[in-house]
Amino acid sequence: MKKPKKTYLATTVNMNQDFPNGVYIGDDHGKYIDMSGWVPDADYGITERDWYKEGLTHKSFAFGTPYRDADTGEFIVSATTLLKPLMVLKRLLQQMFSKLCF
């Protein structure tokens, strides 16, 4: 991934108390880019996650089904969107919310 994209992702960390880990990206080859410093276990399986599968159907940011976060154990909901393909990769941008205000 190009440096400017990683720089953008880094600016989203701790930007808002409702999504302190910021925005991150997962692709269909299992690559996960998270500038918060969280590193998933080797068996994490990004493409098997519900947020990833739901995000494949989102052409713009949309909320998915709430789930238990692998990092914190809290119930959260993700907003995901499918990014424009980079060569042959399908990439998803995700943002997790621990609290929602309506």
Q: Model confidence over 72-87: pLDDT tens digits? A: 888 888 888 887 765 5
Mind listing the pLDDT tens digit for each residue in 10-61? 787 887 777 777 788 888 888 888 888 888 888 888 899 888 888 888 888 8
Q: Where in the chain does DSSP place strands (E)? A: 23-27, 32-34, 62-63, 67-68, 75-82, 91-97
- Cβ atoms 64, 55 nearer than 8 A: yes
Report pTM. Answer: 0.70
> pLDDT > 70: what percent of the chain?
76
What is the rounded distance in angstroms from the CA atom of residue 94 to the CA atom of residue 96?
7
Task: Say if residues 25 and 32 touch (Cβ distance below 8 Å).
Answer: yes
pLDDT at 101: 38
- Which pLDDT does position 100 carry in this prediction? 41
Burial of 87 (0-12, 13-18, 19+ CB in 10 A): exposed
